[in-house]
Chains A and B, each alone.
Chain A
């Protein structure tokens, strides 16, 4: 199946714009060659636009009443045969001949692709005599046994071959034409998929612009140093599931995040240089007593980082519910400015989408970000035995200007120790 595009024809008189008056077809309609698809109007006359091909309407290029530039896309039709070829229209009335776009105005955005419901007045247009119906998806290609055998011998799938005979029957001539066509690079039959040449411009505004600036700023200033360690979370998961089983109804469900927060809180006691912000213009590092954990969250419009304040003072369930509340608020764009600033360290997790390794970007002016990768069951060797353990990687980045590699590594190892022996999270 290929795509045939009819462009707004030049109706003459040197006019660059034409008003679309009425559609006679709608998306999904099967149309015959020469069937009138639309009426367009110049200052002087209304002109019928016939289709030079038979096929199925894929998209309409505009709505009735829209003024369209000559050369812009009027209608898109799925036609039988190779998708890489737009058949040249054959023997059309002169006025319907597609022409090159005449100085399409630069500001003219592409017409909406959305299906436009056309008035259902197809009237007599469909009652054409010539019964040429394009092959529908799933239809068996029609060919005589001799043609079928020849195609099998040549390794050609007939469903890719255009049939020019009655009812779309594939003739020996069609096979000849197909075989004489230059094959694609791999020597395979054409894919049957149309090439796409469309593109879309999206303005970088609002939150997106903010994110772009922040990311660029972080990458320019911070000397990123990433460190990945794998954590055996089998025990932690067992604990989490047990707590959920017992207290889910009364205290709410625990995800992994509150445990990670707790691990950061405990580990950071020994690594004050990591729970810090670095003002590189003033050349001052501020080490924070409070642990305000930024929780990277995907909102509708982009990345947001709501802040779990004073995580060091929150209980497991308290932190859990606060994280839940913040995430909901951020996603629905209801988080306050207060809730979106002031973090001292950031946690980023994509859950099941976490991958095996990531290289998170430090949320300046912080100096560390801890990324959570996907949890998977993997065979591990413990005491010479292969056992199945739940494994999860932590991919963390640090500002190497102020955090030494050794400290970063020791910090992550401390976090690992806490997570692998979850009792330590709570034993003071």
Chain B
């Protein structure tokens, strides 16, 4: 047994929640140890947000280029492009490497001791990592989440999770995506654009069931245009003889030939495998229950990010991590954002920040809802993407903006403006009175606010 390491803050998990907490703690002079079993950066940097966006970019570039093999209104023509998926993946891995190396450098710069290995919780103050005992005053759980597996589709061989889908050695002929949520659709669209046949099987009656149908309609249309077959209301039964079997509500069986099946049916907080049970923390469903300061039911044991439940978003985890470090440094902090943006990198993209019209009316709020279509936006036309719109939800009585939603090409970048307007407590008049640069997609934001006030200019 090695000598016990003593520290003030011990963080389990080096994902976006854990490493940000560690950096902030380092800045605040808190002695910090971070334990990571796989790779710094967690799901987000290694097998999530970043690699998926890299792959989506490759797919988009290839798809656009392929389009020009046919006569194009833009006047571009190319001979048939070819894709070397091995190099694509290597390029993606390069980005991931650069970012994870960057995280390691940042941690080092801020004096954080990183221990590689799997942590085993002994009690609220002690953790073992491969026989190394670490004693801490504060324990921060940032263990993230796992992909949910389906019992009738055990992973292995042609059955893959998003992790394998982000590092393909070859492209499948026909990929079946199980799950019509954002992960399944983002990857499904990317694979389709890379040249594979893609089908999506979803148990519920809609794609992207967490968004309203107005928002998802342009995505559904794009799927059709791309030639992605969507089978809604189908429950998966298994995979045999190169076919995925599913059944609809009427008992009708569906057989889809597939040489690869991507299971993307959601994520579950990672609470198993490191003896968390011994702390007997209060749970909130499958997640660790936390209060507004991210404190668990045990004093000085904190939990952030996916392991602490929905919304499972990297930026939420980062904000929580930063906050917990400040609380440990003795500052008064509470996690009380007005809104956390959720972005879906499908084609077109979807952004949702704050309350949707449905949520607002469920809460009994009398609201103005207005939307401005990109079809009336010059920049959108110049990007060949007139689909989609920006929608604003505001209180009728004082015009306080409660939420923004948008669907369209590149609208993910509008999330910044949306979140900022909500955090600043902006009213419709504030946005309507801000000059938005022309020609940009952001003009649709201003026009949506103007329209809510009854005097949109360009519609």
Binding site for B on A (CB under 8 A): 131-133, 140, 142-145, 148, 152-153, 155, 165-169
Are B429 and A155 in contact, CB atoms less than 8 angstroms apart? Answer: no
Name 30 interchain pairs, CB-CB below 8 A, sorted by A: A131-B397, A131-B398, A131-B399, A133-B395, A133-B397, A133-B398, A140-B336, A140-B338, A142-B400, A142-B425, A144-B423, A144-B425, A145-B423, A148-B336, A152-B332, A152-B333, A153-B331, A153-B332, A155-B332, A165-B425, A166-B398, A166-B399, A166-B425, A166-B429, A167-B395, A167-B398, A167-B399, A167-B425, A168-B398, A169-B425
Known: A131-B399, A152-B334. 11 other contacts (CB 8 A): A131-B397, A133-B397, A143-B425, A144-B423, A144-B424, A144-B425, A165-B425, A166-B400, A167-B427, A168-B398, A169-B424
Chain B residues numbered 396-436 whose CB sits less than 8 Å from any CB in chain A:
397-400, 423-425, 427, 429-430
Interface SS majority for chain B: loop
Q: Which residues does chain A contribute within 8 Å of B430, judged by CB atoms?
A: 166
> In chain A, what residue has the closest Cβ to B331?
A153
Q: Which of A143, A153, A167, A169 has the most CB of B within 10 A?
A: A167
Q: How far is the CA of A155 from the CA of B423 in the complex (A)?
A: 20
Chain A residues whose CB sits within 8 angstroms of the CB of B424 once the complex forms: 144-145, 169
A169–B395 CA distance with the chains assembled, in angstroms: 14
Q: Which residues of A contact B423 (CB under 8 A)?
A: 144-145
C-alpha spacing A168/B397, complex, angstroms: 12
Contacts of A152 in B (CB 8 A): 331-334
Min CB distance B426 to A, Å, is 8
- CB contacts (< 8 Å) of B399 on chain A: these are 131, 166-167
B 178-214 contacts with A by CB, 8 A = none
Alpha-carbon distance between A133 and B395 when the two chains are bound, in angstroms: 10
Closest 8 CB pairs of A and B: A167-B400, A142-B425, A167-B398, A169-B425, A131-B398, A133-B398, A133-B397, A152-B332
Nearest B residue to A142, CB-CB: B425
With both beta carbons as reference points, the residue of chain A lying nearest to B394 in the complex is identified as A167
Q: Which residues of B contact A142 (CB under 8 A)?
A: 400, 425
Contacts of B425 in A (CB 8 A): 142-144, 165-167, 169
CB distance from B320 to the nearest CB of A (A): 15
Please indicate the chain A residues that have their CB under 8 angstroms from the CB of B427 in the complex.
131, 166-167
Considering the complex, give the chain B residue whose CB is closest to the CB of A141. Answer: B425
Give B85-128 as 1s and 0s: 1 = Cβ < 8 Å from A's Cβ atoms: 00000000000000000000000000000000000000000000
Q: Which B residues touch A133, using CB under 8 A? A: 395, 397-398
With a cutoff of 8 Å between Cβ atoms, the chain B residues found around residue A165 in the complex are: 425
Residues of A contacting B398 in the complex (Cβ-Cβ under 8 angstroms): 131-133, 166-168
List residues of chain B with CB within 8 A of the CB of A169. 424-425
CA gap between A132 and B398 in the complex, in Å? 6
Bound complex: CA of A132 vs CA of B333, how far in Å? 30
Q: Chain A nearest CB: distance from B368 CB in Å?
A: 11
Q: Which residues of the partner chain A approach B332 to less than 8 Å between Cβ atoms? A: 152-153, 155
Q: How far is the CB of B257 from chain A (nearest CB, A)?
A: 52
A131 partner residues in chain B, CB cutoff 8 A: 397-399, 427
How distant is A54 from chain B, measured CB to nearest CB, in Å?
10
- Bound together, the chains give a CA A166 to CA B433 distance in angstroms of 13
CB-based nearest A residue for B336? A148
